[in-house]
Structure 1
Amino acid sequence: MADLAVYFRLARAQVRGQLSYRGSFVMNCFGQALAQGNDLLVILVVFGRVAALGGFDITAVLLFYALSGMSFGLADMVVGSIERLPTYVRTGAFDVVLMRPLATLFQLFAGDFQLRRIGRVLTAFGTLVYVLSTTDIHWTPAKALLLVLTPLAGATIFAAIFVAANSVSFWFVDSRELANAVTYGGSYLTSYPITVYVGWLRTLMAYIVPGAFVAYYPGLTLLDRADPLGGPSWLGWLDTPVAALAALVAGLIWRTAVRHYRGTGS
């Protein structure tokens, strides 16, 4: 809890600094929103040519996109600064991180907190509002809770992917692009139904990397849709337990990676 309190203090200080240049902050948020909007534009272009994608209409795909975009945007804003880890390891700056009386992950998370990344969340949230307002969903208290928890659970899953993917930096000199392929690539893949992917990619990105629990299965539950792949309906309620398990696995990978670190030798 003490580490968490320090993290919030450091993040709040950075937010105050970023908001002191409001014009720049607004433009940066707008740029992030446009970046997220590019993926939305691709979906709209695709559905200008086809009526269904992987067995789903545009409403379902937009719901997947919105849940995935909100999840990734939140994770990128809170833990995205861990992408600087390869530079820390290569230059030896990670030695300084180890010397401070604060958890290493929290230091990296707070090292470059960028509130501007909330622009991604806003674009996805706007899409979600549109989908929910134009779709006849049979609401129950359980579904309402699922809708609230899904972006948080998805953000936790993406945060775990960020940590696990960037932990490779302790074994390879510069693994930034490898990590980006898993993190940003995972965001793109989870924006679509997993039925559009070939078997090996579906197994890798949907189950080994549990991307299917970010948006696909919760989205099916919200829409009362059966899984074309034959998965049981209760999978949609497992996003929070899967997120907790992903966080645990990522934490174990991180601890193993840090113990492997031996410095730069300089």
Structure 2
Amino acid sequence: MSTPAGTLLTPYIAVLRSRMRAQQSYRLSFASEVFSAFLIGLIEFAEVWVIFHTVKVLGGLDLDAALLLFGLSNTTFALAQVMVGHLDSLPTLIRLGTLDAFHLRPQPLLLQLITSDISLRRLARAAVAIAVLTLGLMRNDIDWGPAAVVLLAITLIGGILIFGGIFVCAAGLQFFLIDGAELTNSFTYGGSFAAMQPASVFPPPLKILFGFAIPVSFTAYLPTICLLGLPGPPLLPSWLAWWTPVATIWVWLLALCLWRIGTRHYQGGGG
């Protein structure tokens, strides 16, 4: 007789609920954190706004297209950060020996860590991105047929999963680096910054890096030019946007491989 899904997920859901309640216990502190995350989202958008008000067209995209590019990239990254961004605290858990307690529970380590916390304050940054995305969808001339709707859905789901997988990749590397957060942040937060840029301005090596090795171009740039009917640059034609599920699978295969290698390498906190 199979175990009901609710029974399997109940411990994780209970932990998430307790974390959510704990974050809201100190209301002034929670409000200040939400406001800070909101400001971060506004500042990032202001950077794009200033650039495209100065340059007018960059990499074949105007301001309206840039709104769509920013909205897609930041929405998917912010939501992935809400769900799995706390994995960047793994080095602290390793140094303090706290991670050893997770190994004592008869549950998958990665799933325990993902559901051990949730950062509600980061939803404020996601709200800014969603507002910009809505504006970008309204201001651009998009042929809203079934194909466009499906592509948008694939992009949003795939983008969240791609950025989530990159966070897991970074966490897997931390078992070896410990104090190498700056290096792994160059892939997570650096990948987010790269996703906001028109990939057509990148030199070929960066197009290969952010188009295929760390495929953040699939989270925003490729869907943007595909929705707008633009051909795309060499190496990154717009029709590649439909291959977002393949890019997602690639990222998660790499993520789970690095996580498995990292956990096998881990010998304990030594406390």
TM-score (norm 1): 0.92
Distance 1:232 1:42 in 2: 26
Residue 261 of structure 1 is matched in structure 2 by 266
Report the CA distance shift for 1:82/1:231 in structure 2 as closer, same or farther (over 3 A): closer
1:53 equivalenced with 2:55 (yes/no): no
Report the CA distance shift for 1:66/1:213 in structure 2 as closer, same or farther (over 3 A): same
- The AA in structure 1 aligned to 2:130 is F
Contact 1:3 1:102 survives alignment (8 Å): no
Report the CA distance shift for 1:145/1:99 in structure 2 as closer, same or farther (over 3 A): same
Write the deviation string for residues 53-109 of structure 1: whole angstroms up to 9, x where unpaired.
122111112211110101111110000111111112223222211111121112222
Question: 1:4 deviation in Å?
Answer: 4.4
Distance 2:27 2:154 in 1: 31
Residue 79 of structure 2 is matched in structure 1 by 74
Secondary structure of the 1:171 match is helix
Residue 40 of structure 1 is matched in structure 2 by 45
Q: Which runs of 5+ in 1 are unaligned?
A: none
Question: 1:230 deviation in Å?
Answer: 5.5
Report the CA distance shift for 1:114/1:181 in structure 2 as closer, same or farther (over 3 A): same
Secondary structure of the 1:238 match is helix
Residue 151 of structure 2 is matched in structure 1 by 146
Q: Which runs of 5+ in 2 are unaligned?
A: none
Residue 140 of structure 2 is matched in structure 1 by 135
Deviates more, 1:90-99 or 1:62-71: 90-99
Question: 1:38 deviation in Å?
Answer: 1.1
Structure-to-structure mapping, 1:175-190, within 5 angstroms: 175-190=180-195
Deviates more, 1:194-203 or 1:41-50: 194-203
Report the CA distance shift for 1:94/1:230 in structure 2 as closer, same or farther (over 3 A): closer
Residue 210 of structure 2 is matched in structure 1 by 205
Secondary structure of the 2:103 match is helix
- The AA in structure 2 aligned to 1:153 is G
Contact 2:20 2:118 survives alignment (8 Å): yes
TM-score (norm 2): 0.91
Structure 1 residue runs of 4+, over 6 Å off? Answer: none
Contact 2:211 2:236 survives alignment (8 Å): no
Distance 2:167 2:213 in 1: 15
Residue 243 of structure 1 is matched in structure 2 by 248
- The AA in structure 1 aligned to 2:55 is V
What is the RMSD computed on CA atoms of the aligned residues?
1.9
Deviates more, 1:191-200 or 1:70-79: 191-200
Distance 1:88 1:253 in 2: 18
Residue 172 of structure 2 is matched in structure 1 by 167
Distance 2:236 2:81 in 1: 29
2:228 to 197, 204, 223: 223
Write the deviation string for residues 21-57 of structure 1: whole angstroms up to 9, x where unpaired.
4454343223212101211111111122212112211
Write the deviation string for residues 201-247 of structure 1: whole angstroms up to 9, x where unpaired.
23222220011111111111211111122644431111123213312
Contact 2:15 2:117 survives alignment (8 Å): no
